[in-house]
Amino acid sequence: MEESSASDDKPRILLMGLRRSGKSSIQKMSPNETLFLESTNKISKDDISSSSFVNFQIWDFPGQMDFFDPTFDSEMIFKGTGALIFVTDAQDDYVEALGRLHLTVSRAYKVNPDINFEVFIHKVDGLSDDHKIETQRDILQRANDDLADASLERVHLSFYLTSIYDHSIFESFSKVVQKLIPQLPTLENLLNIFISHSGIEKAFLFDVVSKVYITTDSSPVDRQSYELCCDMIDVVIDFSCIYGLTDAGSGCAYDKESLAIIRLNNTTVLYLKEVTKFLALICILREESFERKGR
Amino acid sequence: MEKMSRVTTALSSNAISGRTMFCHLDAPANAISVCRDATQVVVAGRNIFKIYALEEEQFVEKLNLRVGRKPSLNFSCADVMWHQMEENLLATAATNGAVVTWNLGKPSRNKQDQLFTEHKRTVNKVCFHPTEVYMLLSGSQDGFMKCFDLRKKESVSTFSGQSESVRDVQFSMKDYFTFAASFENGNVQLWDIRRPDRYERMFTAHTGPVFCCDWHPDDRGWLATGGRDKMVKVWDMTTNRPKEIYCVQTIASVARIKWRPERKFHLATCSMMVDHNIYVWDVRRPFIPFATFEEHKDVTTGIVWRHQHDPHFLLSGSKDSTLYQHMFKDATRPVDKANPEGLCFGLLGDLAFAAKESLISSDVNRKPYPGGDRRYPIFFFKKPDPTEQFAHVSSALSVFETDLNSNHMDWFVKTAQLYLLSGKPFAELCDHNAKVAQELKRPQVSTTWTMLRIMFSDPANLTATGPNHNLSSKLGTLPLMNSFSMKEMGTESRLERSKGESRPDNTHLEPGTSHISNNNEENEETEGSEGQAEYMFGDAELDDDELYSMEHDNQTVLLSNTVLSLLPLPNRHEAEVTCLTPIESFSLISISQPLYSPHLPGSFFCPIAREMLSYYAEQGDVQMAVSVLIVLGERIRKEIDDLTQEHWYMSYIDLLQRFELWNVSNEVIKLSTCSAITCLNQASTTLHINCSNCKRPMSNKGWICDRCHQCASVCAVCHHVVKGLFVWCQGCSHGGHLEHIMNWLKSSAHCPAGCGHLCEYT
């Protein structure tokens, strides 16, 4: 794994969007806390590299940021950015958000054409299934039309339906992060080889802190299995915090010793193993293949 | 067409036969594919790559393509396809990103022909062009689709899905140059093979990944897609904008999808998660699978119809390491197990009943439903081959109406509105409710309330609460007496009836209870009326037998009502006892003994009250049950288990809401103690409003619209901001304080804002 020393070199993920669209609440937060979230007034830089495998900074922009403000240094902001996440509120009128999106994308693209543009259609929990897909279709259509009008067809926007009430936000975040990991094909192949030579059905490599999966094997990801794995991390960390911490109090709840096996009553076994300081390998396998270890 | 006839002749000369059969593989299969003449099938998986011959009775292993001591990762297949033109040509997609072609005509053991290692990540799908021999398409996790010319060493063109993983690629049957690709982000793209720079069209098909797509084999431009959102959707691609024409909801994510040959509307699906079955759907009937194959013990990973013109054979590979051939005639038909009868109550006691024709037609007296010719909604017309159609089900819908004269549900509405459930001392609540019931001519209910008051009030309280009654003068030692004297009339009539209850005639009908006089449908109607009317035991429309059985079930309750009211009158008491069975008199004594004790604790009556509540609930008067539950509160709550309480509450709230008694239902929700009920009021509490000036949504709190900076909800009459009840016309969106608007409308029918709209308030 490559080590980038200067913090400025780290790929950045920018979180942008209109105010009250849910940018801050996206970041590791349980839904009930978000009610009390204050508006973000200044750029908050969240450097998650110290606690996580991924060397990323997340810049949470205040929604009322004015691009035409002379103090707004778009060079500085967009230059080293790997991905720009634009958050729209699906329950609100998104016409204004789309205008903002267009503005943001065109400016960012001018400075740095290599940015991945990701659009989170957020707060979809309140919408019916039909409505969800209709909203996504509409936003996609309009956003792409806007870009085409500005002859920016080359810009690609990826859309995700997200909500903080389920794991869709983690999953979407995982996809965003994965695009920025250069070693992804290698890791995926390693996991493919790993599961093809063992009885394991599905393997995830998780970033423990953010519950983002760095990679998984190439079989389709099932929402339930992903959620199970997320929950397993929670269980393991909670347990370790209660019983695993030494008296010094300085120890980390997650260390080399971390290993957990959970048997579910549907003959499935969850297996968690520490890989590095920040990563955990979580495997889903059948009980019978778990019995025949080493085969 | 020419080709097709050629193939069909080939088929008829060499007709496929076989049976449902399976064989064990050494390892889980990932994909299967058949060769053109349907005699061989190739199975590919992480650790398996074999060709089996399909014989009459069994599978025979023909060839193991996985050779070499240390098989390379190129053998670890995610997908396999047998060329439909060239019988010796196969292509596989490897999990390490390699696309491999195999030539079975090679003399050596290793049949590997070409190796393309251009993809960086797993290749999910390979697809040969249906008519072009050398054209191969691949779709990979790395977001690229590549087109290979098998005469060249590398790909001819690359199509970029913009870093979204490709799950499936399929050449169109209709257009020579077109292929469809499905993506993990829910999109489906159509590409022209000659234009690698940009897709022809793109649309969002599913929420979540689209795992598979399949073109309809007849050239109609239909594309079926299946995704993780558990939907199968059929799109008409011939229109300007892809139109969803059919949608099937399944129970698990859809991993593979294959149109059934020769059957226009059928398609087979399987899931790679949770569900092991293979379903064949008729897309026109999306609610129930047409046929199901349930043989596999683990998830099915690959399905393929054995021959492209034979709809009777389906092959499937599974993670349970078996390869199956399913005969269509052996499939399970879920529709056979479905219940074809349906029954539903209308709000005012009407009963709708749908049943199979055959069942109903035997009933000669049936009256047709007057509301139009809806009696025979025939879903499917009979076609020659019954096994290929949904069972011919035509149902008749009958609606039984209740007699208009017995305007039966009024009592429910009135009672709901008039009952007091909280806010006063217990005894007063009971008295009030008893009076309400009395006025509505429901003496039993009324008596019950009175009894409840007696049973659960401690004497001290009782003396204090009496002033609004005639019994206040005679308080003290005989509280029972007092209350009885008040209720005497009701009880009298009631006793008369219970004496006459053995006579099954109609003379003792309660005017308030509903009686339906449709003789032909005695049974249904009786059922129907039970829902809305509360019966006295003496009601003559029940048969004798029923009457007795019921009475025994609820004897304690009945007793507690009749007997307790009798107690202060010894002469009557004796008379009644004589006609009671031994068991009943026993329970009577056990009650009457401690009754004379002046300090009887309320909890003593709990079992009786509990049975009484259940009795009312059983009778269909859930209103009574819930009202008593609320009024009694803590006194009874622990006696009844939470689920029952919740059930009662839910039923009552449902009824109230169907009668649009929102205030009452809200009060009930508020007063309930079940957590499941109280949280009903905490759901969907958001009200979205638009600014009345600029018609844009109001973004957040406050009375000022963000956009036009005006106060949004101004009363059109007094021009002040309305805080509180705001009523507005849905036609012109003007409105104001409830009272102001009401006053205004008394004098004018036009909008007070002067917009000229003739406002309507409902």
Structure tokens at B511: 């005017």
Q: What is the mean pLDDT of residues B376-395?
A: 54
Residue A234's closest CA among A185, A197, A272, A199? Answer: A272
CA–CA min distance B642, chain A (Å): 28
Q: Give the three-class secondary structure for B33.
A: strand
Angle at alpha carbon of residue B369, lines to B364 and B372, rounded to 5°: 130
Nearest C-alpha in A relative to B199: A153
pLDDT confidence of residue B566 = 41
| CB contacts, 8 Å: B78 with chain A | 218
**pLDDT grade, residue A57 (50/70/90)?**
low
Contact B38, B62 (CB under 8 A): no
How far apart, in Å, are the Cα atoms of A155 and each of A67, A109, B696? Answer: 20, 8, 30
- In a 13 Å sphere around the CA of B724, the CA atoms on its Cβ side amount to 7
Which of B78, B186, B272 lies at the smallest CB-CB distance from A218? B78
Using CB atoms within 10 Å of the CB of residue A194, give its burial: 0 to 12 exposed, 13 to 18 middle, 19+ buried.
middle
pLDDT confidence of residue B495 = 40
Handedness of CA B142, B147, B150, B156 (dihedral sign): negative
Q: What does the alpha-carbon distance between residue B542 and residue B545 come to, in Å, rounded to a whole number?
A: 8
Q: What does the alpha-carbon distance between residue B195 and residue B182 come to, in Å, rounded to a whole number?
A: 18
Residue B160 has pLDDT above 80, yes or no: yes
| CB contacts, 8 Å: A196 with chain B | 46-47, 76, 95
Contact B50, B65 (CB under 8 A): yes
Contact B271, B248 (CB under 8 A): no
**pLDDT grade, residue B562 (50/70/90)?**
very low
Sequence-separated (6 or more) residues with CB below 8 Å from residue B278: B268, B269, B270, B292, B293, B296, B300, B303, B314, B316, B326
Question: At B679, which amino acid appears?
Answer: C
What residues does each domain of chain B span? 21-253, 339-362+391-405, 407-457+602-684, 685-761
Residue B359 has pLDDT above 70, yes or no: no
Q: CB-based contact (8 Å) between B183 and chain A? A: no
Q: What does the alpha-carbon distance between residue B106 and residue B104 come to, in Å, rounded to a whole number?
A: 5
pLDDT confidence of residue B391 = 59
CB-based contact A192 B95, cutoff 8 Å: yes
Residue B623 has pLDDT above 80, yes or no: yes
Helix residue ranges per DSSP H, B533-641: 544-553, 555-566, 570-578, 582-595, 606-619, 622-632, 634-637
Helix residue ranges per DSSP H, B353-409: 357-361
Contact B680, B672 (CB under 8 A): no
Angle of the B410-418 helix axis to the B426-439 helix axis, nearest 10: 150
Residue B117 has pLDDT above 80, yes or no: yes
CA–CA min distance B498, chain A (Å): 55
pLDDT confidence of residue B10 = 44
Q: What does the alpha-carbon distance between residue B632 and residue B671 come to, in Å, rounded to a whole number?
A: 11
Number of cross-chain residue pairs from A and B with Cβ atoms under 8 Å apart? 85
Q: What does the alpha-carbon distance between residue B596 and residue B599 come to, in Å, rounded to a whole number?
A: 9
Residue B558 has pLDDT above 50, yes or no: no
pLDDT confidence of residue B602 = 64
Q: CB-based contact (8 Å) between A37 and chain B? A: no
Cα of first residue to Cα of last residue in chain A, in angstroms, is 30
pLDDT confidence of residue B557 = 41
Q: What is the mean pLDDT of residues B469-496?
A: 39
Report pLDDT digits (tens) over A105-131: 888 888 888 888 999 988 888 777 778
Contact B727, B739 (CB under 8 A): no
Q: Of B70, B121, B235, B705, which to mutate for an interface test with A (greatest number of A Cβ within 10 Å)?
A: B121
Angle at alpha carbon of residue B612, lines to B606 and B615, rounded to 5°: 145
CA–CA min distance B692, chain A (Å): 16
Residue A22's closest CA among A7, A37, A44, A11? Answer: A37
Q: What does the alpha-carbon distance between residue A212 and residue A170 come to, in Å, rounded to a whole number?
A: 6
Q: Give the three-class secondary structure for B632.
A: helix
Residue B535 has pLDDT above 90, yes or no: no
Q: What does the alpha-carbon distance between residue B246 and residue B224 come to, in Å, rounded to a whole number?
A: 9
pLDDT confidence of residue B270 = 92
Residue B467 has pLDDT above 50, yes or no: no
Q: Which residue has the higher pLDDT, B377 or B69?
A: B69
How far apart, in Å, are the Cα atoms of B570 and each of B3, B453, B563, B593? Answer: 101, 22, 11, 14
Average pLDDT of the residues of chain B: 74
Picking from A44-53, B146-155, B188-197, B611-620, which range would have the lowest pLDDT averaged per residue? A44-53
Which of B204, B272, B700 lies at the smallest CB-CB distance from A136? B204
What CATH number should be reported for the domain whose range is B21-253? 2.130.10.10
**DSSP for residue B143:** S
Nearest C-alpha in B relative to A266: B274
Residue B11 has pLDDT above 50, yes or no: no
Which of A158, A188, A224 lies at the smallest CB-CB distance from B122? A188
- Determine what percent of chain B is predicted with pLDDT higher than 70: 68
Q: CB-based contact (8 Å) between A120 and chain B? A: no
Residue B203's closest CA among B190, B220, B221? Answer: B190
- Centre a 10 Å sphere on the Cβ of residue A19 and count the other Cβ atoms it contains: 15
CA–CA min distance B99, chain A (Å): 15
Strand-pair partners of B750: B758
Q: CB-based contact (8 Å) between A135 and chain B? A: no
pLDDT confidence of residue B479 = 40
Q: ipTM of the assembly?
A: 0.84
pLDDT confidence of residue B241 = 83
Structure tokens at B484: 């009885």
Q: What does the alpha-carbon distance between residue B110 and residue B148 come to, in Å, rounded to a whole number?
A: 22
Residue B127 has pLDDT above 70, yes or no: yes
pLDDT confidence of residue B583 = 43
| CB contacts, 8 Å: B96 with chain A | 189, 192-193
Q: What is the mean pLDDT of residues B587-611?
A: 60
Q: CB-based contact (8 Å) between A187 and chain B? A: no
Report pLDDT digits (tens) over A151-201: 887 888 888 888 888 888 888 888 888 888 888 888 888 998 888 778 788
Report pLDDT digits (tens) over A221-265: 888 889 899 899 888 888 888 887 666 555 566 777 788 899 988
pLDDT confidence of residue B506 = 40
| CB contacts, 8 Å: A160 with chain B | 185
